[in-house]
Structure 1
Amino acid sequence: MNTYNRCPMPSAHKRLMDCHAMWHAMANSYMEPETFRMHLNSLIQGLRNVTFLLQKQKSELPDFTNWYSEFQDQAKSDPTMRWVVASRNRVVKESDLELLSEVKVRWVADWANKQERTFTFPPRMPSKAILASLLSTPSEKRKGVVTVSRRWVDRALPEQELLNATRKAFIRLCGLLSRAHDACGIGSCGLADRDPECVNGILTADPLSCMDINPGSLQDHFDLSAMRGIGEIYTKVPYDEAKTAKARKRYGVSDFPPGDPIELAPLVMDHARKVLSRDKHHINVVWLFRGNEVIENFAQTYADQNAKYLAFHRLADRVETLRADGILLIAEMWYVTDHKQDDKGNIIPARDRGRDRREALHVLSATREGEAVSLIAPFSRKLLGTIQLEETFTEGDVEHKSIGILSPILDRWREME
């Protein structure tokens, strides 16, 4: 039998796939107000039609009343799902949604100092003009990084940006159809893939990595100290099993067992020590977790400290997009054994300490539940570049709420509550 025919609810399932494609069309037209409005209207109707089409098949679906009633009860208590129902009625029977264009401005001076404010500007107003307007007050500080983010909201759901709201509804419906497939004894029905290539018949209750609710295309970043823009470059490297096997042999390591970022930190440090000894350096690596599963990993580079501030705030955006609940970082860092203050009483960062600073390998892990661990392995470079590593130690009294470099991620987790 053709796998396509095995789907117990092909009309509803295909309509959900339509919604996935429509979501991307809407996201791609974010800066074109009329096109965005058109795709939003279509998406809202598509989301609502998934449940209509499912209800038409209720007599053919096992135990329909029980699992669908459970979904309805959950949807009634969900502001996003109530908004979808009301919005579909408005679009079909009354008028377009009342869209509001907003600009969110984030100013970051350092790890401890951040401000966010929301303004209303015309959707096509250039970011430089927005920045000039915001900095027109002489007292405004000229330090750190400013990020200008554009966002559409509906007047009936002002607390949620529309990419985020519609993605939430899509995820909720994925869960519903997944439950329906399970009731029919079919885990995967193999509907044909579509364009864009990420649109397929897979049903998951977790956020899809392709549905980025904080895309870089909707943000502009400015270095206030240098008064210039900061650009983002993202390069995707496909997985290559042959290269992975070669790396295992080079460093004498094996794959990591399942575990959360706290459990894996010592194993990752052992691995990182071997890489540093062999290669004489270690790149900055980020692992994002959901439970005991690594859902994304990548390397980060930054030209200077302001770019580093920006990189970690963009990392917080990615944590929110993927609903990651754990993070693990591997990096080289400057390390000191004491604290010194400048003439204003501020602690001098290790990077600015000069000759009394040392190099160290650092593995830092944290979870949304409040756990944190910081492992440090000091090292020195000998003649001919040889690395002399000291014993790894655990940094004492690491408080989840006070980890400077991870503060953007910790703040975002609190906001996500």
Structure 2
Amino acid sequence: MWHALSESYMQPDGFRMHLNSLIQGLRNVTFMIQKSKADLTDYEVWYTQFVTNVAPKPLMRWAVKSRNRIVKESDLELLSEAKIRWVANWITKKERKFTFPPRMSSNEMLAAIFSDPGNPRVGVVSISRRWVDKALPDYELLHATREVFIELCTLLHAGHAAAGINSCTLDEREPSCVTADISVQPLACMDINSSLRQEHLNLEDGFGIREVIHRIDRDDRQVERANRRYGNFSVTASSPIEAAPQLLEAARMVLRKDKYCEPMMWSYREGKIVDMISPTFFDQNGKYLMFHRLADRVETLRADGVVLVIEAWWAPGDVRDAQGFVIPPREREDRQEVLHVAAATRAGERLSLLAPFRRDELGDISFGDTISDASEEDMSQLGPFMPIFERWKQMDERGER
């Protein structure tokens, strides 16, 4: 039902119909449990805990009130919004929300937004289409209903655990992500920041930035080929901070052999890797956009830790121009190539490792001593993580585990 809602996002009438069905379906979960309580092991224990700790949460109260309104009164009062995010650099960012008619095109939205001469003309602007309920203005509705779904999965998981059962008796369903397993973790398929609902524009050249995602499934034959080419290595640490030095060694092996190292980011949740992605960008504005989209991904997955491996430019100390702005390493004559491995957790742990390297006339790579995060100067290399840090803060403020 949630996927049907997502697929109808650009169809106002269909979206409203699927939203009504989904909210009633979510509410029916607790009705069905209550009806069957006499047959459920330790019902009073785990259901009472849910009623005490979870049911009073604002989103759960909203779900109950919304169901009552849909059944007894009328549809929810929906608003079609466009969230506009303008990014100039890692620090300078603005977000505004505009209310537009549901069928208004992105070009018409942009024309209305930039009719104000005070709006920026540099950087990257992103338009995210959003449906919100007037009674819940701070939550996009796919996000809100997903959070309710997760809480109900936690309830069902507690009931199954009390009965000593790991899964439901459920036959094969469509889509294939609907299985008999009951997960207490967010499902990756429930993407609350889909690229299908976002558009991006490079303000400096006026061209759109198209986002493309390629999925690569694990292939054991390719793994064996990689081991033969680069040598065997493994990442044994379960913490992003502890994994960073191991990933740096792996990246060194790749760079020595291939003479380049593709960017890679690993997302962690509760000590396990839940996502691997190789983010590609072609200019600085594309890089700014990419890291904001990586923050979207962290939010969707509820990742609590990340590790990034990337080739970068580095230069010691801050050098400023005549206006007092910091000159980025890529524009300095004393710049040096480095392998940069950065790790961070939602709990506030940070690590930055820089491995300087040089290329000789034949292209062979030699590494210098690794620079760790012993000083504030080195920690400034974590600037690209600012969108992720900000997203974690927002998740904490909403009380999302």
| Alignment match, 1:100 | 79
Alignment equivalent of 1:238, drawn from 208, 217, 224 = 217
Q: Deviations over 1:296-328 (max 9, x none)?
A: 011011011101100000001011111111110
1:127-206 pair list within 5 angstroms: 127-206=106-185
Q: Does the Cα contact within 8 Å between 1:370 and 1:400 map onto a contact in 2?
A: no
Distance (Å, rounded) in 1 between the aligned partners of 2:91 and 2:166: 47
1:304-343 pair list within 5 angstroms: 304-343=283-322
> Between Structure 1 and Structure 2, how many residues are aligned?
395
| Alignment match, 1:212 | 191
Alignment equivalent of 2:344, drawn from 349, 366, 391 = 366
Q: Does the Cα contact within 8 Å between 1:101 and 1:153 map onto a contact in 2?
A: yes
1:255 CA displacement = 2.4
Quote the sequence identity (%).
50
Distance (Å, rounded) in 1 between the aligned partners of 2:287 and 2:183: 33
1:190 CA displacement = 4.9
Distance (Å, rounded) in 1 between the aligned partners of 2:60 and 2:21: 16
| Alignment match, 2:399 | none
| Alignment match, 1:77 | 56
Distance (Å, rounded) in 2 between the aligned partners of 1:401 and 1:169: 38
SS at match of 2:67: helix
Indicate whether 1:300 and 2:275 are aligned. no
After the TM superposition, which parts of structure 1 deviate over 3 Å for at least 4 consecutive aligned residues?
398-402
The residue identity in structure 2 corresponding to 1:377 is: A
Indicate whether 1:125 and 2:104 are aligned. yes
Indicate whether 1:392 and 2:370 are aligned. yes
Alignment equivalent of 1:64, drawn from 43, 55, 66 = 43
Distance (Å, rounded) in 2 between the aligned partners of 1:222 and 1:261: 33
Distance (Å, rounded) in 1 between the aligned partners of 2:168 and 2:12: 37
Distance (Å, rounded) in 2 between the aligned partners of 1:356 and 1:75: 56
Q: Deviations over 1:369-400 (max 9, x none)?
A: 11111101111111221111112220333597
1:55 CA displacement = 1.7
| Alignment match, 2:325 | 346
| Alignment match, 2:387 | 408
Q: Does the Cα contact within 8 Å between 1:379 and 1:388 map onto a contact in 2?
A: yes
SS at match of 1:185: coil
Q: Does the Cα contact within 8 Å between 2:263 and 2:311 map onto a contact in 1?
A: yes
The residue identity in structure 1 corresponding to 2:198 is: Q
Normalising by structure 1, report the TM-score: 0.92
1:347 CA displacement = 1.1
| Alignment match, 1:356 | 334
Q: Does the Cα contact within 8 Å between 1:287 and 1:294 map onto a contact in 2?
A: yes
The residue identity in structure 2 corresponding to 1:260 is: S
| Alignment match, 1:90 | 69
Distance (Å, rounded) in 1 between the aligned partners of 2:93 and 2:246: 34
Q: Does the Cα contact within 8 Å between 1:329 and 1:365 map onto a contact in 2?
A: yes
Task: Classify 1:78/1:212 alpha carbon distance in 2 versus 1 (closer, same or farther; 3 Å).
Answer: same
RMSD across aligned positions (CA):
1.5
The residue identity in structure 2 corresponding to 1:98 is: E
Unaligned runs of 5+ in 1: 1-21
The residue identity in structure 2 corresponding to 1:395 is: D
Distance (Å, rounded) in 1 between the aligned partners of 2:25 and 2:120: 47
1:107 CA displacement = 0.6
| Alignment match, 2:359 | 381
SS at match of 2:261: coil
Q: Deviations over 1:126-153 (max 9, x none)?
A: 1121112111122322110001111111
The residue identity in structure 1 corresponding to 2:264 is: V
Distance (Å, rounded) in 2 between the aligned partners of 1:137 and 1:186: 60
| Alignment match, 1:287 | 266
